[in-house]
Homo-oligomer: A and B are copies of this chain.
Amino acid sequence: MTTASATALVLDLAGTFAFALNGALTAVRAARLDIVGVITLGMITALGGGILRDVLLGALPPSTFSDWRYLVVAAVGGLVAFGLSRQLERLATPITVFDALGLSLFAVTGAGKALALGAGVGQSILLGAITAVGGGTIRDVLVRRIPTVLRSELYAIPALVGAAIVVVPARFGLGGLVWALVGAGVCLAIRLLGVRFRLEAPHPPGGKSDGDAPAS
């Protein structure tokens, strides 16, 4: 394994762990599920984005299933979150932070994998964003929430920005770890600032999102 691919693997597993914590805590907090539901939702949140990416790239079976490390990291993340849920449940912040970390790491690793498999610039940026938002979208559908990617102020946009920061330099031969870290950092910063200050993208004239309201 080269240094580059080892680094990509570490970032990808870190994103997997962050999303597993997020999904499992969401199961505890939002849907009050039992241990099987908690670990299942943690794993689906952690692995869903990468599976979507690999299906869209035609890279099947998904790396999740050909590389057992993803399964183990996702399951351990779900177990850890279950064990710590009493401590973490009172705090809304960890759920948001783990989600933002997973979003940022998957945006850059997803885009990097798409590039490595020969996708074009635009497709790689989009696939990075799909990897980043995919697991959380499946999570939200399963617990009957309108997905964050549809209703949140800044969620798809930082993922697209983070992916572009990896893809565009690579196009000019400037690949490597530094751009991945910059991309993830910028994505994380935009996302957390968006949450903190509730920055919002423009709404259609006359209408304003009320976030959690059910569609009629």
- Residues of chain A whose beta carbon lies under 8 Å from any beta carbon of chain B: 27-28, 30-38, 40-41, 51, 55-58, 60-62, 65, 68, 71, 82, 85-86, 89, 119-120, 122-123, 126-127, 137, 141-147, 149-151, 153-157, 200-210, 212-216
CA distance A214 to B213 in the complex (A): 12
Of B35, B144, B201, the residue contacting A36 (CB under 8 A) is B201
Tell me, rounded to whole Å, the shortest Cβ–Cβ distance linking A51 to chain B.
7
CA distance A32 to B65 in the complex (A): 38
A141, closest chain B residue (CB): B141
CA distance A27 to B146 in the complex (A): 11
A114, closest chain B residue (CB): B65
Evaluate contact between B61 and A150: CB separation under 8 angstroms.
no
Evaluate contact between A31 and B215: CB separation under 8 angstroms.
yes
Q: Closest 5 interchain pairs by CB?
A: A58-B60, A143-B215, A37-B150, A85-B204, A34-B201
**For A212, what are the chain B residues with a Cβ–Cβ distance below 8 Å?**
216
Evaluate contact between B123 and A209: CB separation under 8 angstroms.
no
Tell me, rounded to whole Å, the shortest Cβ–Cβ distance linking A166 to chain B.
18
**For A41, what are the chain B residues with a Cβ–Cβ distance below 8 Å?**
150
Residue pairs across A and B with Cβ atoms less than 8 A apart, 21 shown, are A28-B204, A31-B215, A32-B208, A33-B150, A33-B151, A34-B202, A35-B203, A37-B150, A41-B150, A57-B61, A65-B123, A68-B120, A71-B126, A85-B207, A86-B205, A89-B207, A137-B142, A141-B142, A143-B215, A144-B146, A145-B215
Given A68-B120, A143-B146, A149-B40, verify A205-B85 contact (CB < 8 Å).
Answer: yes
Evaluate contact between A209 and B143: CB separation under 8 angstroms.
no
Evaluate contact between B207 and A32: CB separation under 8 angstroms.
yes
CA distance A205 to B85 in the complex (A): 8
Tell me, rounded to whole Å, the shortest Cβ–Cβ distance linking A111 to chain B.
13
Tell me, rounded to whole Å, the shortest Cβ–Cβ distance linking A63 to chain B.
11
Tell me, rounded to whole Å, the shortest Cβ–Cβ distance linking A138 to chain B.
9
